Amino acid sequence: MRVVANLVRGKAVEEAVGLLDLMPKKAARLISKAVKSAAANAEDKSGGDVSIDELRIQTIMVDGGTVAKRWMPRSMGRANRINHRTSHLTVVVSDED
């Protein structure tokens, strides 16, 4: 997820969403959704003073979340641990350069 986030950091919201829509990675869809939500929230909370065209991604952070630990049986009575990792995504948009 960090690889995709690094590609859109500092870009305009419309440019970032266009880039993310064409990327074949699963994280691109999730980050695109978060960027669109952040832009909509910024426009709504400003009371219409801010246009989505002016917004840029100021900060985008991907932090590690909880890890679900599971076990997979292997040969000769052994077991391997499978880690199902999650992440926390934070997107900050701003109309300032």
Give 41-44 contacts, CB < 8 A, sequence gap 24+: 42/93, 42/94, 42/95
CB 9 within 8 A of CB 62: no
Is the full-model pTM beyond 0.75?
yes
Q: Among 45, 55, 58, 59, which residue's Cα sits nearest to residue 90?
A: 59
Q: How many domains does the chain have?
A: 1
Half-sphere exposure of 36 (CA within 13 A, CB side): 11
The predicted-structure confidence for 28-73, as pLDDT tens digits, reads as follows 999 999 999 999 999 988 887 888 888 999 999 999 999 999 999 9
d(CA 69, CA 1): 20
pLDDT for 13 equals 94
User: Which class for 53: exposed (0-12), middle (13-18), buried (19 or more C-beta within 10 A)?
Assistant: exposed
CATH number of the domain at 55, please: 3.90.470.10
Token pair 């990327």 in the structure block, residue:
23
Q: What is the reported pLDDT for 97? A: 63
Domain hosting 66: range is 2-94
